[in-house]
C-alpha cells in the first residue's frame, strides 16, 4: 500500500473503538490493520490520501479525542529528529515563565511578555522582533529568575520516550529552539538529545541586560540547523522528522519528510498536514510504526 494512516486515542479520555477503525478504514479504502498499542493506536494501510481527504476523515470522527496521522508506506522510521522546545518538548513557553517569576518584582510584566509571545507564535509579528521586545522588558531583573523558572519547567508526556526510543534506533536527535540555551541544555540532558541549539541571553554580573546575543535563532535558523545536521549525517530530508507548535517552526516542518504540528497554533494547524491535537508525543513514534512494546523511557 502507498500510505499508512495511524489512529491514536487519548488514552486518558477514551480507547479506540471498532467504529473508529471502521470509519477510517472505509473512508480511506484501507485494506489492512495493525495494532500498535491495544485500545490506543492502530495502523491502517491504504492508498494515497490527500490533505482534503484527511480533513474529511478527521471530521467523520467528530468530537472523538483521536488523532489521525499520515505517513508513507515505505521508510517510515526517520533517521533524524529535530524538535522545538517551548510548548513542544516542555509544557510552557520558558520566556513567559521567566516573566511570570518576575511578577513579584515588576507587576504586569507576565502578561506583557505573554501577549507578545502569542502574537509571535500566531505569526502576527516576526519572531526576531518579538524576541527582542520581550527580552527588553526583562532589563535590570536578577538573572536568578532563570533558575526559578527552570524549577517549574515540566516535560510534556512522552518527551523522554520519543527521544530515547529514536536514539536506540540510531537516530540523530537535536533540540532546536527560539528560546534560550539556559533551558535547552537542561531539556537536552533530561531527554537525551544528541545536541541542542538556542539563543543566549546577555547577562551582566547577576543582572539580565535586556538583550539577546546576535544573530537570533529564528525560523530560518531552525531550517538551517535541520539541513546542516542532515547533511553532516548524510541523511536526506525525506528521512527527517521535525516537530513544533509555532509559526517559527513552519519552515522546518515543511522541509522535513515528516513534519508534525504538536498542539499547534491555528496558523500552523492550517498549513501542516500531520497534527497531534489530542494525544501526546508518543504519537510521533506511532506514526513511524513503532509499537508500544518498543518504547523506551531512558
pLDDT at 244: 98
The residue annotated as part of the active site, out of 86, 96, 245, 249, is 86
pLDDT at 73: 87
pLDDT in tens, 241-283: 999 999 999 999 999 999 999 999 999 999 999 999 999 999 9
Per the annotation, the verdict on 84 as an active-site residue is yes
Which residue segments constitute the domains of the chain, with CATH numbers given?
A: 1-74 (3.30.70.260), 77-93+155-298 (3.40.50.1000)
Considering all CA atoms of the chain, what is the largest pairwise distance in Å, rounded to the nearest integer? Answer: 64
The residue annotated as part of the active site, out of 20, 67, 84, 249, is 84
Question: What is the rounded distance in angstroms from the CA atom of residue 237 to the CA atom of residue 234?
Answer: 9
Residue 216 DSSP one-character state = P
Q: pLDDT under 50 in the chain at which residues?
A: none
pLDDT at 123: 87
Place of cell 529552539: 177
pLDDT at 258: 98
Question: What is the rounded distance in angstroms from the CA atom of residue 18 to the CA atom of residue 241?
Answer: 30
pLDDT at 122: 86
pLDDT at 240: 98
* β-pair partners for 9: 66
pLDDT at 297: 83
Per the annotation, the verdict on 202 as an active-site residue is no
User: 164: cis peptide before it, omega within 30°?
Assistant: no
pLDDT at 1: 63
pLDDT at 121: 86
Please state the pTM of the whole predicted model: 0.96
User: 215: cis peptide before it, omega within 30°?
Assistant: yes
Amino acid at each position: 500500500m502507498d500510505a499508512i494512516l495511524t489512529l491514536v486515542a487519548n488514552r486518558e479520555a477514551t480507547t479506540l473503538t471498532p467504529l473508529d477503525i471502521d470509519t477510517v478504514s472505509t473512508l480511506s479504502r484501507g485494506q489492512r490493520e495493525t495494532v500498535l498499542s491495544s485500545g490506543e493506536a492502530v495502523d491502517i494501510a491504504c492508498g494515497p490520501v490527500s490533505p482534503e481527504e484527511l480533513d474529511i476523515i478527521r471530521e467523520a470522527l467528530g468530537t472523538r479525542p483521536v488523532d489521525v496521522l499520515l505517513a508513507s508506506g515505505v521508510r517510515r522510521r526517520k533517521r533524524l529528529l529535530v524538535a522545538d522546545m517551548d510548548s513542544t518538548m516542555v509544557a510552557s513557553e520558558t520566556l513567559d515563565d521567566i516573566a511570570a517569576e518576575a511578577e513579584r518584582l515588576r507587576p504586569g510584566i507576565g502578561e506583557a511578555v505573554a501577549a507578545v509571545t502569542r502574537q509571535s507564535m500566531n505569526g502576527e509579528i516576526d519572531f526576531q522582533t518579538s524576541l527582542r521586545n520581550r527580552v527588553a522588558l526583562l532589563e535590570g531583573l536578577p538573572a536568578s529568575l532563570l533558575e526559578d523558572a527552570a524549577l517549574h519547567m515540566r516535560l510534556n508526556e512522552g518527551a523522554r520516550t520519543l527521544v530515547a526510543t529514536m536514539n536506540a534506533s540510531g537516530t540523530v536527535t537535536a533540540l532546536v529552539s527560539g528560546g534560550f540555551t539556559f533551558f535547552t541544555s537542561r531539556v537536552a540532558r533530561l531527554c537525551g538529545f544528541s545536541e541542542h541549539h538556542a539563543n543566549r541571553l546577555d547577562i551582566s554580573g547577576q543582572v539580565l541586560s535586556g538583550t539577546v546575543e546576535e544573530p537570533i535563532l529564528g525560523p530560518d535558523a531552525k531550517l538551517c540547523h535541520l539541513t546542516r545536521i542532515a547533511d553532516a549525517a548524510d541523511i536526506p530530508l525525506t528521512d527527517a522528522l521535525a516537530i513544533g507548535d509555532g509559526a517559527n517552526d513552519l519552515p522546518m516542518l515543511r522541509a522535513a519528510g515528516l513534519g508534525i504540528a504538536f498542539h499547534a497554533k491555528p496558523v500552523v494547524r492550517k498549513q501542516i498536514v500531520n497534527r497531534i491535537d489530542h494525544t501526546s508525543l508518543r504519537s510521533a513514534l506511532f506514526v513511524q510504526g513503532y509499537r508500544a512494546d518498543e518504547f523506551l523511557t531512558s
